[in-house]
A and B are shown apart, each in its own frame.
Chain A
Amino acid sequence: MNGRGFTWWLETVAAWVLAVLWLSPLLYAFWAAFHPPEFAIRFVPTAPLSLANFAAAWEQAPFARYYLNTFILVTMLLAAQFVLCTLAAYAFARFDFWGREVAFALVLVQLMVTPEILIVENYTTMSRLGLVDTITGIALPYMASAFGIFLLRQAFKSTPKELEEAARVEGCGLIGVLLRVYVPLAKPTYLAYGLVSVSHHWNNFLWPLVITNSVTTRPLTVGLAIFGAPESGVDWSIISAATLMAVAPLLLAFLLFQRQFVQSFMHAGIK
């Protein structure tokens, strides 16, 4: 009765079968990437391991540059998001200014109408600003993130007011209070939002595809899509290797900090 009966075993096996099924596409990509092409669909345990596919992929497309572009994009975006969202969230949480409720409602619109919905108009705007085919152009529409403002506002609101008053007595100004009291106490929220943001923008595709058209700006996802397009005629094992290269940093981070990732996504979603 206390959970070790037949149904318990049945469910355990089912849970494991589903887990294996869920991992299998990724495991398969690993198999194809680390073995010579002739073993791509032949699962022989004795197949020789090889890194040739990675070398070939690395040579056939400027992946080093794509890595750099994605890295610059994600870093620039996260830094800007932290600054802009912190300031806006501070305003919403602690200043009873005129029009606050309306302004907040207008901010929340972006939760629904995300920049990729408005690719047509945003492209026009970017070309007017001369930012087509720049990394700044990819990042700009996402910098003021409604999601970030919302999360940080919640965090700031739950900070006890007494702490702010204490800091004031110590002689902190408005920004001093923000930096010494609110920001340090919201660290878990920053971590959660940071992880969600980095993984979202590492993986983002549609807007970067629209706004970039050269090697020096293209992030990994767009580079990978061009590389893997069927008409490019690249062989399957090499595409697998390229795919793994593109996801490797994020996947590795996820495997190492699994708990933080899952909790961050939870934290960010529930609020």
Chain B
Amino acid sequence: MTNSRMRHVYGWLLLTPAAILLIGFTHYPTVATLIDSFFSTGTAIRPSRFVGLDNYQLMVDDPIFWKVLGNNLWFALGTIPTSIALAIVMALWVNRRLPGRALVRMAYFTPTVLPMIAVANIWLFFYTPDIGLIDQIAALFGLPGHNWLGDPNTVLGAIIVMTIWKEAGFFMIFYLAALQNLPPELEEAAKLEGAGRWTYFRRVTFPLLMPITLFVLINAVLNSFKLVDHLFILTKGGPDNASNLLLYYIYISAFSFFDSAYAATLTMVLLVLLAVLAIAQFVILDKRIHYR
């Protein structure tokens, strides 16, 4: 490269436009969130003032916060293992000889390209009590109708099922890519050894897919925190916060209750969770390199 001092100048010049935007909309707001979480929400008559940890105290005492955090945990536990398992099964099926393979793969992947809002619109009708599709089918078997989204006991489950449907096909393609890169000799060798398909999967395929599983896992956890679009259509977090998730609660706090200080405090929790996730990913990716 030209002379060494110009390298620094060119490097920074090329980076500057992106850096300004990244700092403006990622780094600055992260720091501002931290600062705002120590201040009260300003109003026209009462300007914002330093309140120390008051917002955090408020949060710890807020039963909705704990409810929402618990929901997020159940939502993650409900969606992630099932969608990963389904994704592996789908990938295995689509990877072998199968009549109409392209069509099947397309069917699995299609939910991924649909917006969550559209998906929620369609599923809303499935879950509608009595006249919805699920209750209609249940009625054929003489089962009573049920208000799936109106009952605190079933609402989170209903959302989990929909999310699994939306995500499994997306995770499938990562497994598919990995399966296609496995050397075919492995399977031949296993066959010669007389290993059954299940043994082969358990002892060979699954361990080899481990880096992908970890990658997908991180992404799935991330999505479980970031994906709240469907709540706007299906439940608005209700009934009685039974389906409320952290990011939705942040939205409500900021834009319905206009309590931006509390929203900032909640955002800090989300940021800390993401930081933990980032560190986990860093450690895992570090390990992943050894596989290569």
Contacts and interface: CB of A to CB of B under 8 A. Distances in A.
Contacts, number: 258
Given A117-B247, A228-B121, A205 B116 contact: yes
Contacts of A92: 15
Interface string B82-122: 00000000100110111110111111111111111111011
B10 A246 contact: no
A84 B32 contact: no
Interface stretch (B58-66, B68-76, B269-277): B269-277
Contacts of A205: 115-117, 229, 232
Interface stretch (B49-57, B152-160, B173-181, B201-209): B173-181
Interface string B219-236: 100100010110011000
A146 B22 contact: yes
A216 B176 CA distance: 42
Contacts of B242: none
B33 interface: yes
Interface in B11-38: 11-12, 14-15, 17-22, 24-30, 32-33, 36
Nearest to A202: B115
A11 B198 CA distance: 13
A22 B22 contact: no
A178 B28 CA distance: 31
Do most interface residues of chain B lie in helix, strand or loop, or is the interface mixed? helix
A10 to B, nearest CB: 11
B214 interface: no
Nearest to B197: A7
B39 interface: no
Contact of A269 (B18, B173, B222): B173
A107 B251 CA distance: 25
Given A26-B114, A221-B117, A258-B102, A125 B14 contact: no
Nearest to B174: A269
B8 interface: yes
A25 B29 contact: no
A94 B15 CA distance: 12
B92 to A, nearest CB: 9
Interface string B148-189: 000000000000000001000110011011000000000000
Contact of A243 (B11, B111, B118, B229): B118
Contact of A125 (B24, B111, B119, B170): B24
Contact of A114 (B174, B226, B232): B226
B122 A87 contact: no
A20 to B, nearest CB: 7
Interface residues of A, number: 91
B267 interface: yes
Interface in A113-154: 113-125, 140-141, 143-144, 146, 149
B254 interface: yes
Contacts of B22: 106-107, 110, 144, 146
A262 B117 contact: no
A18 B94 CA distance: 12
Nearest to A262: B173
B271 A19 contact: no
B23 to A, nearest CB: 8
Contact of A224 (B118, B219, B274): B118
Interface string A231-253: 00000100110110011001100
A225 B111 contact: no
Contacts of A6: none
A160 interface: no
Contacts of B11: 91, 95-98, 100
Given A202-B115, A251-B113, A262-B105, A116 B247 contact: yes
Contact of A246 (B94, B102, B115, B170): B115
B200 interface: no
A199 interface: yes
B80 to A, nearest CB: 16
A255 interface: yes
A28 B109 contact: no
B183 to A, nearest CB: 17
Given A88-B18, A125-B25, A112 B278 contact: yes
Q: Which 6 A-B pairs have the closest CB atoms?
A: A97-B11, A121-B29, A203-B115, A95-B11, A91-B14, A144-B21
Given A117-B247, A250-B113, 6 more contacts: A22-B111, A41-B133, A98-B11, A113-B26, A120-B260, A258-B102
26 contacts: A3-B97, A12-B98, A14-B93, A22-B108, A28-B122, A88-B15, A90-B14, A94-B1, A112-B275, A112-B277, A113-B271, A116-B226, A119-B251, A120-B33, A120-B36, A141-B25, A141-B26, A203-B115, A228-B233, A240-B121, A240-B122, A246-B115, A247-B118, A250-B114, A258-B109, A265-B170
Interface of B: 1, 7-12, 14-15, 17-22, 24-30, 32-33, 36, 90, 93-94, 96-100, 102-119, 121-126, 131, 133, 136, 165, 169-170, 173-174, 176-177, 197, 215, 219, 222, 226, 228-229, 232-233, 247, 250-251, 254-255, 260, 263-264, 267, 270-271, 274-275, 277-278
